[in-house]
Amino acid sequence: MSSIGILSTGSYLPDRVITNADLAATAGVTPEWIESRTAIVERRRAASGEATSDLAAAAAQRAMDAAGLVPAEIDFIVVATSTPDHPQPATASIVQHLIGATTAAAVDVNAVCSGFVYALAMAQGLLSVRAGGGYGLVIGADIYSRILDYTDRKTAILFGDGAGAVVLGPVAEGTGIIGTTLRGHGAAHELISVPAGGSRTPSSESTVREGGHYFRMDGRGVRDFVNAQLPGAVSELLKECAIDPIDVKHMVPHQANGMMLRDLWKDLDLPSATLQLTVERYANTGSASIPITLDAAHRAGALSPGDNILLAGFGGGMNLGLAMCQWSVPSFQEAGLN
């Protein structure tokens, strides 16, 4: 099996900026209330003509450009999303068409906000056993603005739209994706849901009237789940990878809620690590939040070859997805990129 790692990053954020003041009155709160409970100041919203595949394709193109690859060189496309363009076909198939990767296999993964790490692990496995190596695109993309009830202050204030992507490929032995942990906790599946629109509760006039197609979340239950499950899972992954906590240089978590992440950080015991955050500017972008934040850190010159980087996703299902990576990508400045 070959060592597989991240070769490049890319992201796409829609142009339209939505501030706390834009949302506060409808949600029955103040802008200050939103910031004090979430650390979010603004978020992006997709244009009316933009679908999840459009955001994903733009991020994918930027990641391919940074890697110096053309679409014909991509072997696999894995899109993590819980807001697909359609129930069928897979959003990844549309992305494949949009970017012109005509020979790439394409598949979606829905593990909600942990989906990017699940997709990363899947693509790593596909490439590791492929004769002759190859390249994969792993994309996280979501447009939550289309499924929010803007009168629900528990959810309407938290989410933004966006996409992030990485190119995976062969890297030096001992670098790249060193280990992953994927865990499902289905007994807690009701903490996060969109109740209607599937086979259990098909779409109907009554489901639309009753708001069954809106995103719903038990925020306190989610916080309790993450606090109970994530620290232990991180500790176990580090042991499996034979990495001392002091040697972790960066943590890139799902950008669920800034205040929640800062509280959680105290319990993770990563004394030398930098917590990478974009939640203030982009809010919670679902499965896109980890690759968007990874791309932001990379473009800012924060990541150096040899750095151990922990990616940590958590979300509906409930699911946890962790990946430990040893970074081997030159900085944008060194590569002559912008």
Catalytic residues: 113, 254, 284
User: 122 preceded by cis ω (within 30°)?
Assistant: no
- Per the DSSP assignment, residues forming a β-bridge with 41 are none
CB 137 within 8 A of CB 78: yes
- How far apart CA 309 and CA 315 sit, in angstroms, is 20
- How far apart CA 177 and CA 75 sit, in angstroms, is 18
Strand blocks (E) in 171-229? 176-184, 192-193, 216-217
Burial of 32 (0-12, 13-18, 19+ CB in 10 A): exposed
Contacts of 311 (CB under 8 A, 6+ apart): 116, 117, 120, 252, 253, 290, 294, 321, 322, 323, 324, 325
SS3 202: coil
**Shortest CA distance to 297 belongs to which of 255, 331, 336, 254?**
331
**Shortest CA distance to 290 belongs to which of 46, 111, 124?**
111
